[in-house]
Amino acid sequence: MSSYKIAVIPGDGIGKEVIPEGIRVLEAAAASAGVKLSFTHFDWSCETYHQTGRMMPVDGLEQLRGFDAIFLGAVGFPGVPDHLSLWGLLLPIRRAFNQYVNLRPVRLFEGLQSPLANKKPGDIDFYVVRENVEGEYSAIGGIQYEGTDEEVVLQQSVFTRKGTDRILRYAFELAQSRDKKHLSSATKSNGLFHSMPYWDKRFADMAEDYPEVKTDQFHIDIFTANLVRMPEYYDVIVGSNLFGDILSDLGPACTGTIAIAPSANINPEKEFPSMFEPVHGSAPDIAGQNIANPLGTVWAAAMMMQHLGNQTMHDQIMAAMEAVIREGKALTRDMGGTASTQELGQALVDQI
């Protein structure tokens, strides 16, 4: 009987409401698949920060290292500046465990209403492959002449050949494996003089290794416009840390609700645990009301099982999710229903 040790970090806000539903669904699927899952909870969050001045203990990363995977809710809450909470918890995990691939599927499900006119299931079905450990997300930089009218703030982006090539390679391989074999790169080489021309060059060079893959590139401004105008055009999208972040929020918004979107922070070499979370944040505006949509977390749970090698559990969870959305009976408010977080979780468990 295969068994997996999962570190669970519910985090802040609705993270604490959706993670229990993800676990219920995982347990139901595990029971039916004869898999043993053991969950270890870590209450690291902005509350921890208020008590201890840290988002996680000094040896937090060490505590996580031995797990098979990390299952995370959301990080960040009013009261702690976002750069302190995120650079204190989520971002260090991505980096310490070399989760350099952030894989985010975007799909319009049967039963959900796209805010785009005349889009039906099948019209939106792509992957965002996001670089996850370098690029624009950086704590390098600082402020000069602080507190005076002369303040200058520098913010450094860092792109390496190794970091750029490995994410592009992952995206090319994914595109190659798909029917459409179409890879679109997000750039902004007309404005960002060094980083993006470099990105474009590595993309063009690597394209030569994949003659079957159809490639194109779009500046990030027109890319966002295109996602709204013609989402059906895209198959696999590759972007830097920032551009991938943007496109993987906008994409799900075009499928009716960003709350269903999952985010897999993957260390493809499996030297370290990978981390699975919903794309959405802690949503302070609806936290505590028990109306948060747990489907992003549930889809992330499915991706976690796939990453751990259990395709059966992945497929079972996805089938349950598709069925429940199609039936439309236990949907949360953001999907046009009235169900609570738990009722939707229960509907998934019943389905499984």
Ligand X SMILES: CC(C)[C@H](C(=O)O)[C@@H](O)C(=O)O
Should residue 102 be labelled a site residue for its own copies when binding is judged by CB under 8 A?
no
Within 13 Å, how many C-alpha atoms sit on residue 48's CB side?
20
Q: Which of residues 277-296 bind ligand X (CB under 6 A)?
A: 279, 281
**Count of residues that bind its own copies according to CB under 8 A:** 69
Taking the complex as a whole, the smallest distance from the CB of residue 175 to its own copies amounts, in Å, to 22
Nearer to ligand X, 95 or 182 (CB): 95
Should residue 45 be labelled a site residue for its own copies when binding is judged by CB under 8 A?
no
Structure letter (DSSP) for residue 135: B
Nearer to ligand X, 247 or 291 (CB): 247
Report the C-alpha gap between 40 and 61 in whole angstroms.
Answer: 14
**Count of residues that bind ligand X according to CB under 6 A:** 10
- Residue 223 corresponds to which tokens in the numbers above? 């890319």
Q: Residue 196: enclosing H or E segment and its boundaries?
A: helix 195-207
Nearer to its own copies, 135 or 345 (CB): 135
Q: CA of 226: how far to CAs of 109, 151, 183, 218, 219, in Å? A: 20, 37, 15, 9, 10
Residue of minimal CB distance from ligand X? 190
Cα 56 to the center of its chain, rounded Å: 21
Q: Which residues contact 31 (CB under 8 A, 6 or more apart)?
A: none
**Of 188, 287, 301, 314, which one interacts with its own copies (CB under 8 A)?**
188
Q: Which of residues 218-247 bind ligand X (CB under 6 A)?
A: 221, 245
Q: Which of 228, 217, 205, 219 is nearest to 115 (CA)?
A: 228
- Residue 185 corresponds to which tokens in the numbers above? 């790169």
Positions touching its own copies (CB under 8 A) are 76, 81-83, 85-87, 91, 113-118, 136-143, 148-162, 188-198, 219-222, 224-226, 228-229, 241-242, 245-246, 248-250, 252-254, 258, 281
Positions touching ligand X (CB under 6 A) are 76, 86, 90, 190-191, 221, 245, 263, 279, 281
